[in-house]
Structure 1
Amino acid sequence: MLNGRDPRIDFFRGLALIFIFWDHVPHNPLGLITLRNFGFSDAAEVFVFLAGFASVLAYGKVMQREGYWMACLKILRRTWVLYVVHIFLLAMLMGIVFFANSHVETRDLVAEMGLTHFVTHPQQALTDELLLRFKPNLMDPLPLYIVLLAGLSVVLPLMVRATWAVVGVSLVVYLMAPWMGWNLRAIADGVWYFNPVTWQLLFVLGGAAAIYSQRPRAPETRPLLRQPLFVAALVYVLVAGVITLSWLWPEVHDAVMPATVINWLYPISKTDLSPVRLLHFLALAYVTAKLLPGSTWTQNWPAQQTCRMGRYSLEVFCLGVLLAPLADMVNALAGDAFSMQIFTALVGAGLMALLAAWLEFNKRLAQPKQASPA
């Protein structure tokens, strides 16, 4: 059965949204503590995996309750909402970037945000926007989510009934895509920065994890350090963290890393979701799930605010996209002072939390009150 809601999922979705915002503000000191600095994967993998987890969990319940066609209809309706949000978000982002660029004289924010195509070819850019081919910086995750969610309307019944068959097909497509050059068309470099043909595997794995999490299984009684899979995952996470940290000192990295390892490891493609990125995220997710098996730790106040952000991930993500260039503008006007960078990063995260609190407050107001007993 697909039921229940795990607050850990909301927490890590909210945390991923904070990390995405901090990573999108150039020179932000708090960006040094985000996931991308301690391993091969980053918040994008968290976002896509948990999107698959939450989607299969939610629409699987709808399919069980109301049938496949109603679930399909609701998935496509949600996909349309995401598409409309993408169009309006891009329009608002362009307005904010053009405004910020008029106030910053030391840098060209329009070029940095990938909006030159709109300035030089506005009519073509509008067409490309409607076709999801024009995706300035910060906008890539939403079109990816639109395509993956639309695909879920087709594979959801198979996902629920033959989970591992879907995972197997998804894995084959993932392995063939870089070799065959499969990707969707975009402007600039010609392909999507997040290749949906490869990133679909992470979305599918998230859905498979949702289904698996609802099935009864015998509890593991052995200590964690006596579980081979946990130990292997933990070692991989630690080794990846050490390698990633060594990038801060290129001389040390080049001196310590053997040439054969360098040739095998690099480049670590984000576009095609390099296997080392995928394995790092899966190992990290497994270790985290093992170390935090319950949800009692999400009951403290900071965790509750983060969970709330995860429950309203679309709205909070959109706000983060709009706040990033504004924070960059304020930082630039202040000469990129360290204190101002910290201030804008914390204020931005606070505004995202306030938006989630406001949305939840409005949701409670909209709920009909139960009549008191006579």
Structure 2
Amino acid sequence: MNNGRDHRIDFFRGLALIFIFWDHIPGNPLANVTVRNFGFSDAAEIFVFLAGYASVLAYGKIALRDGWLVASVRILRRAWVLYIVHIFLLVLLMGIVFVANNHVETRDMIQEMGLYYFLGNPQQALVDELLLRFKPNLMDPLPLYILLLLGLPLVLPLLLRKAEYVVGLSVALYLLAPMFQWNLAAQEGGVWFFNPMAWQLLFILGGAVAINAQRDKPVETRPLHHQPLFCVSAAYVLVCAVIALSWRWPAVHDAMMPRLLSEWLYPISKTNLSPARLLHFLALAYCTAKLLPTGAWVQSWLARQSCRMGRYSLEVFCFGVLLAPLADMANALGGDVWPVQVLTALAGVGLMVLLAVWLDVNKRLGRPVQVTA
């Protein structure tokens, strides 16, 4: 595996973090421009896929250089850090929501965030938190990421040598999970919103793509419209966009959708990563990779800010989780008018960028100075 860094990965991780933040602010007008409005998948797929890509890229290099044991220890140490972060993040989130709810009269933020379970069953909620079973709104991606990382050492050696075998097993688990209703338990007898038995496929596919990207391959020279896979993918993305946009006008949607297609397509499960969602994301990712090759565009000022957020995705994601209820509170106090909603959404992104800048500067200052003769 070579050391070349694809800055597009950092860019789209940063963009996914912005979309997640905007989607988590109730009534936010800018949420109308996120990827979920133009297809069946959303920023969650981007986040998980690129998490798999970045994890296998990073720990795969360690495994090849220092051995599987060293890589496994690094992975488990990272998972432990994420676990501690998850606990403290939940405590901070609950504190913010409980305080904010006392200042907001137009809505029940505790209900919006799914925190009444903690108020009614504090002892059991604390136990469930430690077991990753208590996941209020906004908190679902982090426990999923922790679990996927814990499973990475089991598949990493085979993934580095025979990625197609791991992908095959992953596809089998993905197909069997909804068939046999495999999922993990959550609070109050529920199950995980992001079923790890299904979402592991995106993580594994991200890792397989990372490995494949490091290999020397012949460059496709045919124009895009002469590449069958691109044409099929682009057509599917366009059809999904038309269907998703029609949801805004139910009468139009009912008129244009054949009954048999509706019965096959709906419901589009996010919990079990419906095949329609999975195929939409893969088609969208493939088209994006083809249409936006690595180039000067990632060096523009705006792209560099997104890349910077993507490099510190854990810290920025956690910060965004805390900013979302604060933005919601500010919107409520401002009368829920659209100028205030747009301002809080943009201000939140600005603060996320500033955090990434601070982390970047802090990291550079921490590097030892190399003195050359």
User: What TM-score, normalized by structure 1, do the two folds share?
Assistant: 0.99
Secondary structure of the corresponding residue to residue 320 of structure 2: helix
Q: Offset at 1:4? A: 2.2
* Residue identity matched to 2:233: A
Q: Which residue of 2 aligns with 1:358?
A: 358
Deviation at 1:153, TM superposition (A): 1.3
Kindly state the Cα deviation for residue 5 of structure 1 after the two structures are TM-superposed: 1.5
Q: Cα distance, 1:141 vs. partner? A: 0.2
Query: Which residue does 1:250 correspond to in 2?
Result: 250
| Aligned counterpart, 2:265 | 265
Structure 2 CA distance, aligned partners of 1:207 and 1:100? Answer: 40
Please state whether the residue corresponding to 2:371 is helix, strand or coil. Answer: coil
Counterpart mapping for 1:170-319 below 5 A: 170-188=170-188, 190-319=190-319
Matched, 1:138 2:145: no
Report the Cα distance in structure 1 between the residues aligned to 2:71 and 2:370, rounded to whole angstroms: 29
Shift of 1:295: 3.1
TM-superposed deviation, 1:342 = 0.3
Question: Number of residues paired by the alignment?
Answer: 373
- Structure 1 unaligned segments of length 5 or more: list them: none
Amino acid aligned to 2:154: V
> What SS does the corresponding residue of 1:103 show, helix, strand or coil?
coil
Tell whether the 8 Å contact from 1:3 to 1:57 is kept in structure 2 after alignment.
no
Match of 2:162 in 1: 162
Q: Secondary structure at the match of 2:187?
A: coil
TM-score of the aligned structures, taking structure 2 as reference length? 0.99
Range with greater deviation from structure 2 (287-296 or 314-323): 287-296
The structural deviation recorded for 1:189 is 5.8
Match of 1:23 in 2: 23
Secondary structure of 1:345's counterpart equals helix
Q: Deviations over 1:312-349 (max 9, x none)?
A: 00000000000000000000111101000000000000
Deviation per residue, 1:33-76 (Å, 9 max, x gap): 00000000000000000000000000000001100000000000
Aligned to 2:58: 58
Shift of 1:2: 4.7
1:361-372 paired onto structure 2 within 5 Å: 361-372=361-372
Structure 2 partner of 1:122: 122
Q: Distance in 1 between matches of 2:300 and 2:217?
A: 29
| Cα deviations by residue, 1:238-287 (Å, 9 ceiling, x for unpaired) | 00000000000011101111111110110000000000000000000000
* Cα-Cα RMSD: 0.8
* Distance in structure 1 (CA, Å) of the matches to 2:124 and 2:295: 49
**1:138-159, Cα deviation, whole Å (9 max, x unpaired):** 0000000000011001110011
Give the aligned partner of residue 95 of structure 1.
95
Q: Which amino acid aligns with 2:130?
A: L
Deviation at 1:353, TM superposition (A): 0.3
TM superposition outliers: structure 1 runs of 4+ over 6 Å: none
2:75 alignment counterpart: 75
The answer on whether the counterparts of 1:173 and 1:198 sit within 8 Å (CA) in structure 2 is: yes
